[in-house]
Amino acid sequence: MKKCASCQTPYPDEFAFCPLDGAELEDPGVYAVGTTIRGKYRILAKVGRGGMGHVYKALHLHFNEVRALKVMDPSLTQREEFVRRFLREAFVARRLQHPNAVRVDDVDTTEDGRHCIVMEFIDGRMLRDVLEHEGPMPTARACSIARQAASALHAAHQLGIIHRDIKPENIALIKSEQGDVVKVLDFGITKLREGRLKEEAGGMDLTATGTMFAIGTPEYMSPEQVLQKDLDGRSDLYSLGLVFYEMLTGRLPFHAESQAEWFLAQVGELPQPLRERSPHLRVPDGIAELVMSMLEKDSARRPANGEAIIKAIEKCERENPGLSGLVPATGRLEGEKGTGECTTIPAFFEGWKKGSLITQRYKILDKIAEVRMGPIYTALDSAGEQICALKLVTPWNIPSAELINQLSEYFQRMQRFQHPHVVQTHDLGQAEDGVLFLVNEYVRGLNLRQTIDRDTCIGVARACRIVWEIAFALDAGQQLGMMHGEIKPEHIMLTGAAKSEQTKLLDFSMDRVKEALPELSDSDLPSGMLAPLHYMPPERISGQPHHPTSDIYSLGIVFYEMLSGRRPFEGNGIEIALRQVQEDPFPVDQVRPELGIPPSVASLVMRMIQKDPNYRPPDAHTLMEEISAV
């Protein structure tokens, strides 16, 4: 019963305010913030209510540490069966010491005679909350959560403990530098099998009375649990399989409107295969097969134990390194190669729809381009109300470990590199569907390819200014030990009005990322996605390393094209490669003599595209000086 703080009139628990004076009703069973229990636990906040009492955040005054207190409801203290179940929960959980299970420290009794369990305080989010607000998870994250939960269950099953209520509401996620740390809650709704715990429990009757259906949640109950058969650890694995399925698809494999329908579905309905439930799901075959095996109606056909689930996930991670999640690069010894890189045939990728919210932050506005790496979208960044560009990274493939490492290193490099003529990179993320993406500054305007296609050629003064600004950016990058690696008109943006036009260089220092992209054939890529060879320096075509004058060569080809409207070498891929290495280009001022290109400018262009790097301008700073001179 609740009581009015003003008139002291008692009311049933469903009342929140006093009908007589409107005052808020007090619940005598709830401790107020600031209350001290047993002289050592100060209540900081009420954080929830369980089946048998309230849960509080409390400060242990002696240790100055935060704890969680689960305090039995006063109405249950005189009911012997509930007291026994409450103590059983503490007894069971105290014996289970595992990093992925909530730790129980003590059992105590409050001054007014209520039993309480002192537990580790979990400062995190419940999996249910994450699923409701964020939807389906990337495969890597779902695998990590399932693996940790399976580890806790395996430890419990070895002690003879069966959880019997695995569901998103009983799985907490704590953020850490390595990702989610899983904590499985409520190991108290259990059944002890033969084992040392049953013997240690002595005369305690550990079988709860009442209907079996009161223990567990119909949406996540195993068939044998519904049928009230003897349970073993594989019952929990079935429930974990349902959670795993829901993490990947955002939905359960069955649909039901009532408790009875859920029971019938768990016993008699075959689960819908993962990819039928979510046709665009990008998940390795091994993971899909594991999840469906966990949902077998016959427990004998499921994985034998939690350890088997862990091994299956780890095997898939070795075969698909991208499942290890998006993590910073850990470094690699010189000459050491990554193992198990995935170069699978591209899966179907439908694209992101207008209005989609990515990582609860970026609202998709429009698709503006498609390049070899993937589509590019404009999006509204809700954090700063700014328009940005989202560049997807090979959405047709599961990312390899090498690609993830190179992306992380690229992002770290670009955080150090801020320049007015370089498009800035703001973020590196992984969407709910598992696709990696870069968040770049959005530049309004045309790229140089579009400009040349429209105008044929560009005036000398404007072309010299564009080349000078690019050289300015290259010089700044070289001071940090960075090179562009793939200068071409498509990577040069022109923004602003004619008199205030400014150059912005895209994809600075992304060459190593692109080298880590999966090796795809022409037919595997969307049409027109193959990188052109027109701007590639001879030393790169010959397999030599890229160096600063390689960028100068590529920029020289762009300079040549801006002035003449043509590239020095044309043909198919093999023809261009051979001509780049073997032939001397036709002098730029003789391609279209009517344009009147000054000899000093033509001479500079031709030196920039010399076959021998030693005859080119030695660095970007020297190139800036020479452009200024002409």
Stretch 207-225: mean pLDDT: 67
pLDDT at 278: 80
Q: Comparing C-alpha atoms, which of 399, 234, 227 is closest to residue 303?
A: 234
Query: pLDDT for 561-587, tens place per residue?
Result: 999 999 999 876 567 777 888 899 999
End-to-end CA distance of the chain: 91
Q: Are 549 and 616 in contact (CB under 8 A)?
A: yes
As a whole number of angstroms, the distance between CA 532 and CA 544 comes to 18
pLDDT at 576: 79
pLDDT at 26: 67
- Helical axes 127-134 vs 233-249, angle rounded to 10°: 20
The residues, ordered by sequence, that sit 6+ positions from 481 with a Cβ below 8 Å of its Cβ are none
User: What average pLDDT does the chain have?
Assistant: 82
Give the CA distances from residue 466 to residues 247, 504, 559, 562, 609, in Å, rounded to whole numbers and listed in that order.
49, 9, 9, 10, 17
Residue 435, pLDDT above cutoff 90: no
Please count the structural domains in the chain.
4
Domain end: 442, 464, 487, which one? 442
Domain end: 64, 92, 121, which one? 121
Query: pLDDT for 135-177, tens place per residue?
Result: 888 889 999 999 999 999 999 999 888 999 999 999 999 988 7
Query: pLDDT for 584-621, tens place per residue?
Result: 999 999 999 999 999 999 999 999 999 999 999 999 99
344 within domain boundaries: no
Helix, strand, coil shares of the chain as percentages rounded to 5? 40, 20, 45
501 within domain boundaries: yes
> Are residue 538 and residue 594 in the same domain, yes or no?
yes
State yes or no: is 106 an active-site residue: no
Question: Per-residue confidence at 437, pLDDT binned at 50, 70, 90?
Answer: very high
Give the CA distances from residue 438 to residues 384, 396, 477, 494, 502, in Å, rounded to whole numbers and listed in that order.
17, 16, 20, 21, 23
Between residues 206 and 120, which one has the greater pLDDT? 120
> Are residue 190 and residue 289 in the same domain, yes or no?
yes
Strands 65-72 and 53-60: antiparallel
Residue 328, pLDDT above cutoff 50: no
> Are residue 66 and residue 184 in the same domain, yes or no?
no
> Are residue 547 and residue 623 in the same domain, yes or no?
yes
523 within domain boundaries: no
- Helical axes 233-249 vs 285-294, angle rounded to 10°: 130
Highest mean pLDDT, choosing among 33-37, 224-228, 460-464: 460-464
> Are residue 176 and residue 191 in the same domain, yes or no?
yes
Residue 308, pLDDT above cutoff 90: yes
pLDDT at 101: 92
Residue 524, pLDDT above cutoff 50: no
Query: pLDDT for 175-195, tens place per residue?
Result: 887 789 999 988 755 543 333
345 within domain boundaries: no
Residue 196, pLDDT above cutoff 50: no
As a whole number of angstroms, the distance between CA 238 and CA 290 comes to 11
Per annotation, catalytic residue among 165, 186, 433, 589: 165
Between residues 155 and 115, which one has the greater pLDDT? 155
469 within domain boundaries: yes
Between residues 512 and 579, which one has the greater pLDDT? 579
Residue 302 dihedral angles phi and psi, to the nearest 5°: -85, 170
> Are residue 438 and residue 451 in the same domain, yes or no?
no
261 within domain boundaries: yes
At 441, is the secondary structure helix, strand, or coil?
Answer: strand
> Are residue 397 and residue 254 in the same domain, yes or no?
no
Query: pLDDT for 240-266, tens place per residue?
Result: 999 999 999 999 999 888 777 888 889
pLDDT at 454: 92
Hey, which bits of 533-612 come out as E strands?
Answer: none
Task: Express as a percent the part of the chain with pLDDT over 70.
Answer: 82
| Cα atoms in the 13 Å half-sphere on the side-chain side of 545 | 3
Q: Comparing C-alpha atoms, which of 116, 123, 240 is closest to residue 175?
A: 123
Report which DSSP code applies to 621.
H
pLDDT at 168: 96
56 within domain boundaries: yes
Provide the domain limits for residue 381. 354-442
> Are residue 490 and residue 537 in the same domain, yes or no?
yes
3 within domain boundaries: no
Which residue is associated with the tokens 């999996």? Answer: 127
pLDDT at 489: 95
Domain end: 385, 413, 442, which one? 442
Residue 566: give its domain's CATH number: 1.10.510.10
As a whole number of angstroms, the distance between CA 509 and CA 483 comes to 5
> Are residue 499 and residue 373 in the same domain, yes or no?
no
